[in-house]
């Protein structure tokens, strides 16, 4: 009886996570030694078909774009059973990406220095203001997003406006490309910001909410830039 109750409870947890929406698990896979390349990924259960999926990306941080053959995606036909972890799909896809990770010198332990983290349960904000106490720099970050809704369709875009103040001197930069419109994306949230090992390169992890079938999914993307 206890075993039946346990298995039923596991199925309820899995079902509730699917019906509540697909929330991907983010993985920081590290920088190259010179911080010129960054690798990240995420995985979860697809909200439409309840199948495990995974995605991996290698980013040229100088150009803020993916490297050639640096995008990996997998959707797996295995039915998730009680006790199984969808991370299995991530591990399978990661094995495919290992040669490219080695090519670009990714060190999976060189994950940068976190300067901002949106803690689960906190209300997200489109404007952030915080101090990096390691460098005494005041950061002010604004997420500028545009959401266009029409009957039966939705699309959106975003960009980042940042200013940095130290010893009374303020400099400003912009990151992202507001001209890129993403279909079915309903919102953007700044999830993490961290500085690469070179202390000049910055990666902002942006959470994007997507309308997927009758549900909603959460995926991740990055914007990279160099500190002034």
Residue the block writes with tokens 């995926």 = 219
Backbone angles phi, psi at 63, to 5 degrees: -100, -10
Q: Are strands 127-132 and 182-183 parallel, antiparallel or unpaired?
A: unpaired
Q: Tell me: pLDDT of 55 over 80.
A: yes
- Which contiguous run of DSSP H or E holds residue 5? helix 2-20
Report the first-to-last Cα separation within the chain, whole angstroms.
63
pLDDT at 21: 56
Q: What CA–CA distance (Å, rounded) separates 141 from 172?
A: 10
Read off the pTM.
0.87
pLDDT in tens, 74-88: 999 887 778 788 899
Q: What CA–CA distance (Å, rounded) separates 55 from 154?
A: 24
Highest mean pLDDT among 16-25, 67-76, 82-91: 67-76
């Amino acid at each position: 009886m206890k075993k039946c109750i346990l298995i039923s409870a596991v199925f309820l947890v899995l079902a509730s996570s699917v019906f509540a929406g697909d929330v991907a698990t983010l993985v920081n896979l590290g920088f190259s030694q010179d911080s010129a390349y960054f690798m990240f990924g995420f995985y979860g259960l697809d909200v439409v078909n309840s199948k495990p999926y995974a995605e991996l990306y290698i980013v040229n941080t100088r150009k803020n774009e993916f490297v050639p053959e640096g995008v990996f995606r997998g959707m797996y036909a295995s039915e998730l059973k009680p006790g199984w972890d969808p991370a299995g799909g991530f591990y399978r896809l990661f094995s495919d990406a290992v040669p490219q990770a080695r090519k670009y010198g990714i060190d999976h332990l060189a994950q940068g220095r976190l300067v901002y983290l949106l803690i689960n349960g906190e209300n997200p904000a489109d404007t952030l203001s915080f101090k990096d106490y390691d460098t005494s720099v005041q950061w002010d970050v604004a997420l500028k997003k545009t959401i266009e809704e029409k009957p039966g369709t939705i699309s959106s875009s975003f960009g980042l406006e940042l200013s940095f103040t130290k010893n009374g001197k303020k400099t400003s930069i912009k990151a992202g490309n507001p001209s890129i419109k993403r279909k079915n994306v309903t919102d953007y949230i700044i999830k993490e910001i961290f500085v690469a090992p070179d202390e000049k390169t910055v990666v902002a992890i942006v959470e994007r909410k997507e309308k997927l079938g009758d549900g909603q999914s959460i995926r991740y993307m990055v914007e990279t830039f160099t500190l002034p």
